[in-house]
DNA sequence: CTGAAAGCGCTTACAG
DNA sequence: CTGAAAGCGCTTACAG
């Protein structure tokens, strides 16, 4: 009997499991079992405990559970952005997949910064997560070594790993970039510019795809490449379209690395009275909700971001549960949406 | 000496504070102090502890900290949606405000559902949060009573409380709805429709504002109100615009409760060759990034959502720290953006 | 400036 | 099916 003031949890003023047990007339550990693995106790006991829980409004203390069980039931999730609709969809998928489980999500926004990613990971490690979900395959050396020494499963999202040493769920950004470029080539466009912003690894892989397809067609020209590290926004898209028209007057098509840029480009053309695709074709990436509705509707690549989140979280949950994963690399593919803008 | 296997924390395989202390040649509690309140220990001791921390790669265990200190350092944040750019901006503001502190965010998406809100709150209560941030003022009776019995500060975001019993940071949705409607009236529009989707409390308050302004002008007509609980999307906006044109042929302006709806409406008009505002004016709410760029540019209300998040989190942090709040109700205002669409 | 001891609220082999 | 005891990894008055 070590408790000093019986009858009241003193930390938070909330009922403790000990009080539940006392009220139910059982031991603390039986009360614990009645709640965590009810099939291990008799019906009568379970009923008594449940009644006591209700009466006291008992809420288990997660910190104590985590400490005692050495299981945090926490999954750390890192995304590069929340303003990018792609990653909010990924989060939706993760949340839905985790919904039924008792896992709690720790969601961090890295703002596309290696330094912030490292800082967040370091912070989340304090919570001793049972698993980690993060975007992409390339990380700073610090982050890479933290992930290696960790003993918990890590699943990379959005692109596919080259080596099976890393678990990944996504689709080939390279193939998608090639597919869109080939579509443009097939339509007869020859001077196809690539416009990239943010320059995260996904954008760079899409650029690789464009480069490869252009090279295959014997049409690659370094000058057709416009890259800026500025965040991808609709306004930037309008500005970059202006730049394409001014600096690359013979360009007959533009592959924007993201739909929001392409939206801005189309708005600029609407306003300037430049016919799309008559004067110049425009294509984007990700198929955001407005893309199919604007005038002209936007040719783009539909990406399975919700599914990426859902499947990545499901895979992680399996790994945490000790199940062998069906695959270490889940390719969810992509869909080319050919529309009016090309 | 109760530890069975000295030299290794056995739970997670990670170094413990005890090992740090041993390596540094001090007591556990001195090691603890050296890390949490370094000014309380001598320089020499601090240096020894810091060296040991580095050598062992010590990461404090948050669960143990929370349990021992009865302070979770957790803030629970509830938002109704992540697909709505308004709330991702709110989250950005919250994250920035909390950045420097040691507080950790537990972010939950209620999907505009009272039931999910209650479930999330119940789950987050297990983590014994030091404070809570949530959208809006109206909640289910269950949630309201949970919030009341809680002993932690709660700050409501996005709208302003009528009574000072509740802390709130936002702006008057009612006033904003009135201001936009009056702008339309001032422009000479008379048959101004209101189109609301999702029907969350903010939309309903904006509708109240429209109703009030129309009544004042002697122009209120119930039939001008189109309300649907369906989620607000660009596609829905296009469909609702079609409906307005068909069902309310004499409407000369439409106030959409959200910019995404208004975007869809404008896309529909572009495609159908309907002049905006020539045939009908269109206004939105929130000033999303595309609004100033599309053709015509969209008249709307610019809302301080990032600031709402930032200020709400700052206020909460003050309250947690025991400081008396400068105000229990922070009005951040709104800005009417008059553009081409009206 | 530093330490011994108790305790936060749970869970987990181990018995019976 | 149920319980006594130890322990998870920290922090906190209280001494000195």
- Residue A12: pLDDT band (50, 70, 90) is low
* d(C-alpha A301, C-alpha A303), whole Å: 6
User: Is residue B41 a contact partner of residue B30, using CB atoms and an 8 Å limit?
Assistant: yes
pLDDT tens figures, A74-108: 999 999 999 899 999 999 999 999 998 989 999 99
* d(C-alpha A114, C-alpha A14), whole Å: 41
Buried b / exposed e over B22-49, threshold 16 CB at 10 Å, is bbbebeeebbbbbbeeeeebeeebbebb
State yes or no: pLDDT of A3 exceeds 50: no
> Token pair 């110049």 is at which residue?
A280
How close is the nearest chain A Cα to the Cα of B69, in Å? Answer: 8
State yes or no: pLDDT of B86 exceeds 60: yes
Grouping H, G, I as helix, E, B as strand and the rest as coil, residue B65 is: helix
Portion 121-180 of A in contact with B at CB < 8 A: 122-123, 125-128, 151
The DSSP bridge pattern shows strands A131-135 and B154-158 to be unpaired
Which residues are CB-contacts of A188 (< 8 A; sequence separation ≥ 6)? none
| More confident of the two residues A164 and B144 | B144
pLDDT tens figures, B114-140: 999 999 999 999 999 999 999 989 899
- Residue A169: pLDDT band (50, 70, 90) is very high
Nucleotide nearest B36 (Cα, C1'): D11
State yes or no: pLDDT of A6 exceeds 90: no
**Which residues on chain B are in Cβ contact (under 8 Å) with A12?**
70, 128, 151
Please state the three-class secondary structure of chain A as a single string.
CCCCCCCCCCCCCCCCHHHHHHHHCCCHHHHHHHHHCHHHCCHHHHHHHHHHHHHHCCCCCHHHHHHHHCCCCEEEEEECCCCCHHHHHHHHHHHHHHCCCCCEEEEEECCCCHHHHHHHHHHHHCCCCCEEEEECCCCCHHHHHHHHHCCCCEEEEECCCCCCCCEEEECCHHHHHHHHHHHHHHCCCCCEEEEEECCCHHHHHHHHHHHHHHHHCCCCCHHHEEEECCCCCHHHHHHHHHHHHHHCCCCCEEEECCHHHHHHHHHHHHHHCCCCCCCCEEECCECCHHHHCCCCCCEEEECCHHHHHHHHHHHHHHHHCCCCCCCCEEECCCEEECCCCC
User: Is residue B105 a contact partner of residue B98, using CB atoms and an 8 Å limit?
Assistant: yes
How close is the nearest chain A Cα to the Cα of B14, in Å? Answer: 10
Please compute the mean of the pLDDT values over residues B313-318 and round it to a whole number.
96
pLDDT tens figures, A195-232: 999 999 999 999 999 999 999 999 999 999 999 999 99
pLDDT of residue A201: 95
Name the strand (E) or helix (H) holding B89: helix B85-98
Angle at A83 between CA A210 and CA A86, to 5 degrees: 50
pLDDT of residue A150: 84
Structural domains of chain A in order of their starting residue, each with its CATH number: 17-60 (1.10.260), 71-171+306-334 (3.40.50.2300), 173-302 (3.40.50.2300)
Does the N-terminal peptide bond of residue B296 adopt cis geometry, omega within 30 degrees of 0? Answer: yes
* d(C-alpha B281, C-alpha B254), whole Å: 6
**Which residues on chain B are in Cβ contact (under 8 Å) with A63?**
62-64, 66-67, 72, 127-128
| More confident of the two residues A163 and A110 | A110
pLDDT of residue B40: 86
- Note the CA–C1' distance, B18 to D7, in angstroms: 14
User: Is residue B174 a contact partner of residue B206, using CB atoms and an 8 Å limit?
Assistant: yes
> Token pair 């906006």 is at which residue?
B237
State yes or no: pLDDT of B269 exceeds 70: yes
Which long-range contacts link A88-91 to residues 24+ away (Cβ below 8 Å)? A88/B82, A88/B83, A88/B88, A89/A305, A89/A306, A89/A309, A89/B83, A90/A135, A90/A157, A90/A158, A90/A305, A90/A306, A90/A308, A90/A309, A90/A312, A91/A309, A91/B82, A91/B109
Neighbours of A159 (CB within 10 A): 22
- Note the CA–C1' distance, B60 to D7, in angstroms: 18
- Residue A4: pLDDT band (50, 70, 90) is very low
Q: Do A61 and B13 touch (CB under 8 A)?
A: no
Contact of A89 with chain B, judged by CB distance below 8 Å, is answered with yes
State yes or no: pLDDT of B11 exceeds 60: no
Tokens representing B89 are 């901006």
* d(C-alpha A103, C-alpha A99), whole Å: 8
* d(C-alpha A157, C-alpha A134), whole Å: 6
DSSP B298: P
State yes or no: pLDDT of A109 exceeds 60: yes
Percent of chain A surpassing pLDDT 90: 83
Which residues are CB-contacts of B32 (< 8 A; sequence separation ≥ 6)? B17
CA A59 to chain centre: 31
User: Which string of DSSP letters, residue by residue, matches B176-209?
Assistant: HHHHHHHHHHHTT--SEEEEE-S--HHHHHHHHH
> Token pair 């009220």 is at which residue?
A23
Nucleotide C3: closest residue by CA–C1'? B27
**How many contacts (CB atoms, under 8 Å) link A and B?**
130
**Which residues on chain A are in Cβ contact (under 8 Å) with B93?**
none
Residue of A110, A157, A112 lying closest to A131 (CA atoms): A157
Contact of B105 with chain A, judged by CB distance below 8 Å, is answered with yes
> Token pair 């590069």 is at which residue?
A80
Q: Do B104 and A83 touch (CB under 8 A)?
A: no
pLDDT tens figures, B201-239: 999 999 999 999 999 999 999 999 999 999 999 999 999
**Which residues on chain B are in Cβ contact (under 8 Å) with A235?**
289, 292-293
* d(C-alpha A182, C-alpha A178), whole Å: 6
pLDDT of residue B12: 58
**Which residues on chain A are in Cβ contact (under 8 Å) with B263?**
290, 293
Distances (CA, A) of B144 to A150, B90, B138, B320: 41, 22, 8, 20
pLDDT of residue A40: 86
> Token pair 């936002």 is at which residue?
B170
pLDDT tens figures, B51-72: 999 999 899 999 999 999 999 9
pLDDT tens figures, B285-312: 999 999 999 999 999 999 999 999 999 9
pLDDT of residue B7: 33
- Note the CA–C1' distance, A11 to D16, in angstroms: 28
Which residues are CB-contacts of A220 (< 8 A; sequence separation ≥ 6)? A211, A214
State yes or no: pLDDT of A123 exceeds 80: yes
Q: Give protein residues whose Cβ lies within 7 A of nucleic acid chain D.
A: A 26-30, 33, 40-42, 44-45, 64, 67-68, 70; B 2-4, 9-12, 14, 16-18, 28-29, 32-33, 35-36, 58-61, 64-65, 67-69, 71
Tokens representing A178 are 């090639």
Of A66, A123, A293, the CB nearest to B267: A293
Which residues are CB-contacts of B115 (< 8 A; sequence separation ≥ 6)? B140
Percent of chain A surpassing pLDDT 70: 96
pLDDT of residue B329: 94
Please compute the mean of the pLDDT values over residues A138-150 and round it to a whole number.
89
Tokens representing A302 are 């539909």
């Amino acid at each position: 009997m070590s408790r000093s003031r019986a009858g009241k949890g003193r930390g938070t003023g909330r009922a403790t499991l000990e009080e539940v047990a006392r009220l139910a007339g059982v031991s603390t550990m039986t009360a614990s079992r009645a709640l965590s693995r009810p099939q291990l106790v008799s019906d009568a006991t379970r009923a008594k405990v449940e009644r006591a829980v209700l009466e006291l409004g008992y809420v288990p203390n997660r910190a104590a559970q985590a400490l005692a069980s050495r299981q945090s039931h926490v999954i750390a999730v890192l995304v590069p952005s929340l303003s990018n609709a792609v990653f909010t969809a990924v989060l939706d998928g993760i949340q839905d997949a985790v919904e039924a489980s008792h896992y709690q999500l720790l969601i961090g926004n890295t703002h596309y910064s290696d330094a912030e990613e490292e800082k967040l990971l370091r912070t989340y490690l304090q919570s001793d997560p049972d698993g980690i979900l993060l975007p992409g395959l390339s990380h700073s050396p610090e982050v890479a070594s933290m992930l290696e020494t960790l003993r918990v499963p890590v699943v990379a999202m959005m692109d596919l790993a080259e080596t099976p040493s890393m678990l990944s769920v996504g689709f080939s950004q390279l193939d998608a970039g090639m597919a869109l470029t080939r579509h443009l080539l097939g339509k007869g466009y020859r001077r196809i510019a690539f416009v990239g912003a943010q320059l995260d690894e996904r954008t760079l892989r899409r650029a690789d795809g464009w480069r490869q397809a252009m090279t295959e067609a014997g049409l690659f020209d370094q000058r057709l490449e416009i890259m800026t590290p500025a965040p991808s926004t609709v306004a930037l898209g309008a500005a970059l379209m202006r730049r394409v028209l001014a600096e690359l007057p013979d360009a007959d098509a533009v592959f924007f690395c993201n739909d929001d840029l392409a939206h801005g480009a189309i708005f600029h053309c609407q306003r300037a009275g430049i016919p799309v695709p008559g004067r110049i074709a425009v294509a984007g990436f990700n198929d955001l909700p407005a893309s199919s509705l604007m005038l002209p509707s936007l040719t783009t690549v539909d990406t399975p971001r919700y599914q990426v989140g859902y499947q990545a979280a499901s895979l992680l949950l399996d790994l945490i549960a000790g199940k062998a994963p069906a695959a270490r690399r889940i390719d969810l593919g992509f869909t080319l949406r050919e529309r009016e803008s090309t």
